[in-house]
Structure formats: structure tokens, C-alpha cells
Homo-oligomer: A and B are copies of this chain.
Amino acid sequence: MLGSHIDTVISAGRYDGCFGVLAALEVIKVLNEKKIETNSPVVVASFSNEEGVRYQPGMLGSSVYSGALNLADAMNIAGVDGSSYGVELERIGYAGDMRPGEIVPGAFLELHIEQGPILDQEAIPLGVVEGVVGISWWEVVINGSANHAGTTPIEMRRDAGLAAAKLVERIREIAVKVGGDQRSTCGMIKYFPNAINVIPGKAVLTVDLRNSNEAGLAEAERQLMACSKEIEKSENVSVEVKMLEKVSAVEFDKNVLSTLEQVAASLGVQSRRMISGAGHDAQLMARICPKARIFIPSIGGISHSPEEYSSPEALANGGNVLLHTLLSLAGIDEKNQTPE
């Protein structure tokens, strides 16, 4: 019997996405060391630009692979530094010649840290993810009038920076008003000209809205529009609200979920079902194949931060569940097994 073969996953548990890839490589290493052949081939996939920091939208590689985004359109995307996604992929040697969707997996497994506090708080070592929240990303551009900070009377100001600040407060309130698992965040802001003695004439900010319930997400979007209109009037500025990206809520494959739960139970690893608040490549891959996601605890629920941490034991648990679920889904070719 195979048992638990992954004692260590080569990862400090930082940074979130790295862990899944390293665990997948560890699984391949175990298969090779144990000379295990599976009935279905196993592929390790790491999609580029999942975070969407340098190029927007995020989940870019999996969007193209799953057919949600056209390849040529993706290659033409300009980054925040003015660079071209396509040119940069060529430069680093990552623009391969495999066609998007060329391999359609029988099942897709994604191992990830929770990036939330639930497993850590409840001391449960494994999360079986049933689905992912819907996400909508927005850019808000506010135009007022740049003017001298020392001389311009308050009643004459059209302060785009102040309007942006008021909108940031209203964005937070959206989560409170909509309730449920609604989240609402302003993560980026920029003032123009951004000088200490100049009233900002322009401000740009982003909004991240998420909800597992599509009606709730639609209500959050409606509130974003409404408070933008209010601030446009009260601050005498113009406010443009533009959608950057929208990903619908996704439910994962029930059969893969059952397999995951059975494997975890057989390894003695307690698990619970949960919804993922973070979008990932998995929800794009769900367009073309059955898929599921495995969560391990994030200490303190912290992620996207230098303080992000998951224990070596948590990493090994995740790796072992990944290994055995993969073996269950891919099937072991018994004829080629080396006797133990």
C-alpha cells in the first residue's frame, strides 16, 4: 500500500501560488521514485499572470487556455509599466507553441492555501472547495480640477482626491450593506499630479467586489454605481466607472469532491467543505473539465502579505491528499507496479 509519501513539500508556504506547483512537482517525484505508472497521463500546469498585478486581467493564462479570452487579444495587453504581455512572454522564453486547450484534462486538481481564516480558526487541516465566489473588478476615474493648495478657497475646489477618498469609504460600506459573504475593497489608488501643494485634478482607483451569490454581487455593483453618482454631484467632479473583468461564481464537480473527501478520510485528515473567496485558475479550467480545489490552513488567515505562512505539516497534508486523489482519478496501472 502506498500510504503517506509526502513528508515535506519544498516550499516555505510562501508565496501562495508557488506552493501548489511545488506540491505537484513533489507528487511527480514520488511517482517516479516509487516507479508508479498511472492509467491516465499526469500533467503539472502553472498558468502565467494569475495575480493580474503587472497585466490585467488576472488569471490570464488560464483564461486563454480555457477559451475565455482570445490568444491574440491577451498577447496585446499592455502592462502597468507600459510593457507588452506578448513581447515579455517571448523575451523570457514562455511563449510556447502548444495551442490553447490542446490537452483537455479528465480532471483538474488545484492545491492552494486557504487565503482566509476559517480552517485555521476551526483547526481543520483540509478544505474541500465546492466553488468560487463571483468576482467583478472595476476602475474608477475621477476628474476634478488641479489647483493651488494654498490659495484655492474650499467652495471653489473640485478635489478629485477628496472625491476618491469618499468613494473608498463608500466602497467599504457596500460589503456591510449587501451582507452574506460579500467583500468590497479598494486596493489601488493614484492621484494626479500627486504633488504636496496641488489639489488633485484627477484620481484613479480600483474596486474588487466578490460574492458567492450572483444576486448579491449584482446588488453590490448597483451600489457602486449609485455612490459614484452621488459623489459626482456632491464633489462637483466627473466619475467614470469601467468594468475591468468579471468572473461568475463557479460550482465544482461533485464526483471529484466526493473522491477528495474519501481520500482525505482514508488518510485520517479531517476535512470540511467551503467556498473560496479568492479567484484562481481552477475556476477558468472548470469551463472545460471537472475540477476541484484543495485548501490547507493559512495561519491567521493572512495571504498576499509577507506574513503569509502555512506550517510544514499543513503543506505535507495537502500534498498527500493531492497525490492520492490524483492516483484515484488517474488510476494505477497495476501490471507495471514495482512490488513493495
Contacts and interface: CB of A to CB of B under 8 A. Distances in A.
Copies of this chain held together in the complex: 2
B150 A279 contact: yes
A307 B199 CA distance: 13
A304 B147 contact: yes
A120 to B, nearest CB: 11
Contact of A145 (B168, B191, B277, B302): B302
Nearest to A203: B189
A164 to B, nearest CB: 8
A53 B195 contact: yes
Nearest to A166: B169
Given A58-B197, A197-B52, A168 B172 contact: no
B304 A197 contact: yes
A127 B153 CA distance: 18
Contacts of A165: 164-166, 168-169, 186
Contacts of A206: 196
A314 to B, nearest CB: 16
B53 A210 contact: no
Contact of A301 (B147, B302, B303, B305): B147
A194 B187 contact: yes
Interface of A: 51-53, 56, 58, 114-117, 133, 135, 137, 145-154, 156, 159, 161-162, 164-166, 168-169, 172, 175-176, 183, 185-191, 193-201, 206, 208, 210, 244, 276-279, 301-307
Nearest to A149: B185
13 contacts: A147-B305, A148-B277, A148-B303, A149-B185, A150-B277, A159-B172, A185-B199, A187-B196, A187-B199, A196-B206, A197-B278, A198-B305, A199-B304
Contact of A187 (B153, B200, B277, B305): B200
B195 A151 contact: no
Given A156-B117, A189-B189, A150 B208 contact: yes
A195 B58 CA distance: 11
A16 to B, nearest CB: 8
